[in-house]
A and B are shown apart, each in its own frame.
Chain A
Amino acid sequence: MRGLQLPLSQTQRIRLQRALEKLQSLSCKANSDASVTVADTIPVNYEDAFLKGHGTTDLNGDLVATVCGVVERINKLVYVRALRARYKPEVGDIVVGRVVEVSQKRWRLEINFSLDAILMLSSMNMPDGIQRRRTALDELNMRCIFEENDVVCAEVRNFQHDGSLQLQARSQKYGKLEKGQLLIVDPYLVKKSKQHFHHLEQFGIDLILGHNGFIWVGEHVEARDSMVVDQANSSEQSRVPEEKNQTHTPLEMRQNICRIANAVRVLSTLGFSIDADLILETVELSSTVKIDIHDMLGSEFHVLVAEREAERRSLMGKRKR
């Protein structure tokens, strides 16, 4: 556990230590030899033919890890998957990115990968919804759809031959994200799951867990009806900012957004995997304990969340048996 930068009192420190030890003992039962640090020997049957993958090297006849991570074995390939590395995209992942550049017929997005991802104009749903060829006029009006620094949600389509990534945003649920905040966590904390778009009905809030560690928490927006309206208003763009000035997010929704965002921050600091259920449980915990939104980032709440997670996992372990 890297040093938690929180002012913990003595009792809080002890409680947190105990909770983390409990969690560690629970996970150790699975496969304790899976996690390695640099220069650890990887247990391998040297008689079988195996392939040395990323993160390993041959040192004096032993297979030794060169990064800190988890040993993965797929058929004959043995490699070490580093935990705190940059995001490693796979086709079909849902990612949230920020527009860095508007070029000819494409947008470049930053997605916490070693290269910027490309979103082609042809991979976007046009505002009027009709499938048609993109004209030169569309190309000139690209900025009406996405500008620099906009936050966009898209899906990984494929890899180009030079290693760069192509995205697509063909369905209604992808597109520009407004009225909310973007949180950045480590990519390995967001696990693959069936659903990445969560519409939290009880709060009226959209929660998008991007695989690349970018998490969007914002007001719920109906699937892209606003895009059609925007196109009609594009000639009267000067009016739109003024209207926005008058319609701020209502206070209660803002409180819910902040509570959810703080729950994500707490889980990320403690290093727990982030999924929608866990976030909702953390938010419920904060309301039952009647803690102030800002105090969710304080040491007491961190300790409570760690303890609660230890309880939950030990209960799950008991149920399995």
Chain B
Amino acid sequence: MVGLSVGEKHFIQGGIAQDLRSDGRKRLTYRPIYVETGVIPQAHGSARVRLGATDVIASVKAELGKPSALQPDKGNIAIYVDCSPTAAPMFEGRGGEELSTELSVALQRCLLGGKSGAGAGIDPTSLVVVEGKVCWDLYIDGLVISSDGNLLDALAAAIKAALSNTGIPKVNVAADATSDEQPEVNISDEEFLQFDTSGIPVIVTLTKVGRHYIVDATSEEESQMSSAVSISVNRKGHICGLTKRGGVGLDPSIILDMISVAKHVSEQLINKLDSEIAAAEASEEES
């Protein structure tokens, strides 16, 4: 990331204080979101999301596996993020590992719910094929191609779009399976089940610069932040996850204020994202 001079930093902070950022946005305005689905044909579902200069790809692959003994009626979902070295020079070699782990953990917390699977954005019970024996293992991978701030929001949007693009093949189970044998499964090539993605939350990251918070910070603005809170909100307005970054402490009243601001912003974001995903899927079908 390029450094900023004192004069430029001052200009950015002044802009945020006056509600007019460097590219003319208000504090709570997102950059234009551009969604493309089906970018990886070999995966069961994929999507590419561009948020200004931030560019991320998410892909979903499903494999048949065995459910864990503790939760025989639930499938397994794993989310992993990789920061490509093309995104920023500091990601070269193993430089991006810390950021990748941080992003993966934040996404898992927001989308997968607790250890028992309760409260997850993606319903794991829909992934089971034969209870206790066969279930779908979902591997969701995110790749950061170009980083200009606000990676978490872009990744969550990409995962949401990829999941709505996902088609899990239909499985026919052989009817005469005995209780301790692995049943025979027949994976159909034609029929696909679509995921219900209306319950999947989006993530809104609020970056605090000075005394104000902004939504969708560019990497220049992020360099000026004192702290950032990422809040995951679903369509009903419920909070599914909360992550705080940055060393500066925050007063609890500020956090509550940030949560209500995030809830307000998320309504527009969810609608915008859904319409972009629908448009992307429509254009994918045409081509």
A interface residues with partner B (beta carbon < 8 Å): 5-7, 98, 147-151, 176-182, 218, 241, 244, 248-249, 251, 254-255, 258-259, 261-262, 265, 292-294, 296-299
Looking at the complex, which one of A7, A241, A248 makes contact with B276 (CB distance below 8 Å)?
A: A7
Interface pair B3/A181, CB less than 8 Å apart: no
Which residues, 11 to 59 on B, are CB-close (under 8 Å) to A? Answer: 11, 14-15, 17-18, 20-26, 29, 31-34, 50
Interface pair A259/B24, CB less than 8 Å apart: yes
Interface pair A151/B8, CB less than 8 Å apart: yes
Among B3, B17, B33, B276, residue most surrounded by chain A Cβ atoms (within 10 Å): B3
Looking at the complex, which one of A5, A7, A262, A296 makes contact with B279 (CB distance below 8 Å)?
A: A7
Query: Provided the pairs A149-B3, A248-B14, A248-B18 are in contact, do residues A294 and B8 lie with their beta carbons within 8 angstroms?
Result: no
Docked CA distance A293–B20 (Å): 9
B interface residues with partner A (beta carbon < 8 Å): 2-8, 10-11, 14-15, 17-18, 20-26, 29, 31-34, 50, 276, 279
Interface pair A148/B3, CB less than 8 Å apart: yes
CB-defined A-B contacts under 8 Å, sample of 23: A5-B34, A5-B50, A7-B276, A149-B3, A149-B4, A149-B6, A151-B7, A151-B8, A178-B5, A178-B11, A180-B11, A181-B22, A248-B14, A249-B11, A251-B20, A254-B15, A258-B15, A258-B21, A258-B23, A261-B24, A294-B23, A294-B29, A297-B32
Interface pair B34/A292, CB less than 8 Å apart: no
Residues of the B chain whose Cβ atoms lie less than 8 Å from the Cβ of A261: 22-24
Q: How many A-B residue pairs have CB under 8 A?
A: 89
Interface pair B5/A151, CB less than 8 Å apart: yes
Interface pair A262/B23, CB less than 8 Å apart: yes
- What is the minimal beta-carbon distance from A192 to any residue of chain B, in angstroms? 26
- What is the minimal beta-carbon distance from A154 to any residue of chain B, in angstroms? 15
Interface pair B23/A179, CB less than 8 Å apart: no
Looking at the complex, which one of B2, B6, B20, B26 makes contact with A98 (CB distance below 8 Å)?
A: B2
Residue of B nearest to A149 (CB): B3
Query: Provided the pairs A6-B34, A249-B14, A254-B14 are in contact, do residues A179 and B7 lie with their beta carbons within 8 angstroms?
Result: yes
Interface pair A265/B34, CB less than 8 Å apart: no
Docked CA distance A197–B198 (Å): 54
Residue of B nearest to A177 (CB): B7
Query: Provided the pairs A149-B3, A179-B7, A294-B29 are in contact, do residues A255 and B14 lie with their beta carbons within 8 angstroms?
Result: no
Docked CA distance A249–B25 (Å): 16
- What is the minimal beta-carbon distance from B147 to any residue of chain A, in angstroms? 16
Residues of the A chain whose Cβ atoms lie less than 8 Å from the Cβ of B24: 258-259, 261-262, 292-294, 296-297
Docked CA distance A298–B52 (Å): 11
Docked CA distance A298–B23 (Å): 12
Residues of the A chain whose Cβ atoms lie less than 8 Å from the Cβ of B21: 258
- What is the minimal beta-carbon distance from A261 to any residue of chain B, in angstroms? 7
Among A261, A293, A298, residue most surrounded by chain B Cβ atoms (within 10 Å): A293
Docked CA distance A148–B2 (Å): 11
Residues of the B chain whose Cβ atoms lie less than 8 Å from the Cβ of A5: 34, 50
Contacts A176-B7, A261-B23, A265-B23 aside, 19 further interface pairs with beta carbons under 8 A come to A7-B32, A7-B33, A7-B276, A98-B3, A149-B5, A177-B5, A178-B5, A178-B11, A180-B7, A180-B11, A248-B10, A251-B18, A254-B14, A258-B20, A259-B24, A293-B20, A294-B23, A294-B26, A297-B23
Residues of the A chain whose Cβ atoms lie less than 8 Å from the Cβ of B33: 7
- What is the minimal beta-carbon distance from B281 to any residue of chain A, in angstroms? 14
Looking at the complex, which one of B2, B15, B34 makes contact with A7 (CB distance below 8 Å)?
A: B34
Residues of the A chain whose Cβ atoms lie less than 8 Å from the Cβ of B31: 297
